[in-house]
Homo-oligomer: A and B are copies of this chain.
Amino acid sequence: MADKIEDFVKVHVERLECKNPTIICGFPGMGLVGNIVAQFLMDQFQMKACGYVESRLFPPIAIIYGGLVKSPVRIYEDVSREVVIVFSDIPIDPIISGEVGRSIINWVKSANPREVIAIAGLATTGEEHRVFAAAATGKDLEKVNEKALIFEVGTISGVPGVILNECQNNGIPAICLLGETRGASPDPRAAAEVVKAIGSIYGWEMNVDILLKDADQIEQMLHKLSEQVSEAEAKPTRDYSIYG
């Protein structure tokens, strides 16, 4: 195709009101920690929709809430707290994680970011729900001092990993917060610990009771959505080479 790879993922944000925002990226991954945290912050802060991410590489699917169509990857902002959230309802296939992450940071560069916070899950075999942190620079890592444990040696894959690499390559302050979880199923308890760490870092008061109370319901709904998206993806994934 003659289209540039860059054309495969487009960020649509007409006007951002935040002047120097903290940009939080919540994508599904281990324990769905990323999008549970993002969804919770969006609800708590009653954030305002301000854009969406579009890609012909996303599965051909419309997400419906309350009978209304939602873009699968959406952007919200909270002007009072200077926070922007980039949020995905659909898992991003590893094959397109690079493009999605690069396109987001490309847009972030134009948004005068204070810093980027990528949320991810970290699968372990333990029962704990610790929060770990990794960062682009030593200065970034200091900010989470005593609020999260240092992720000593390892790898961060998918969109959060790409976001960390890209922020470092572009000189954007960046932190990744990893909620310890046991696997792929939704884990609101791991998400709650990450929410508390964020609250502690930014001095935001956070009441995670709702998150913990609705845990079962969240797990069910996310599980159902995830199943439907998987079905829609099943066939196209193996055949996208048709566009070659």
Which A residues have a C-beta under 8 Å from some C-beta of B? 1-5, 8, 12, 52, 54, 56-57, 59-69, 71, 93-99, 101-102, 133-138, 141, 150-162, 164-165, 168-169, 174, 176, 221, 224-225, 228-229, 231-244
Q: Which residues of B contact A165 (CB under 8 A)?
A: 62, 69, 71
* Minimal Cβ-Cβ distance residue in B for A8: B243
Chain B residues with CB under 8 Å of A1's CB are: 1-5, 244
- In the complex, A164→B134 CA distance in Å? 38
- Cα A21 to Cα B15 in complex, Å, equals 33
Total copies of this chain within the assembly: 5
Instruction: Identify A2's interface contact among B2, B133, B169, CB under 8 A.
Output: B2
User: Are A68 and B242 neighbours in the complex by a CB distance under 8 Å?
Assistant: no
Please determine whether B95 and A162 come into contact, CB atoms closer than 8 angstroms. no
Which among B62, B65, B159 is the interface contact of A161 at CB below 8 angstroms?
A: B62
Given A94-B233, A242-B244, list of 15 further CB < 8 A pairs?
A1-B5, A5-B243, A56-B98, A65-B152, A66-B150, A68-B134, A69-B174, A71-B168, A93-B239, A94-B232, A153-B224, A154-B228, A158-B232, A243-B244, A244-B244
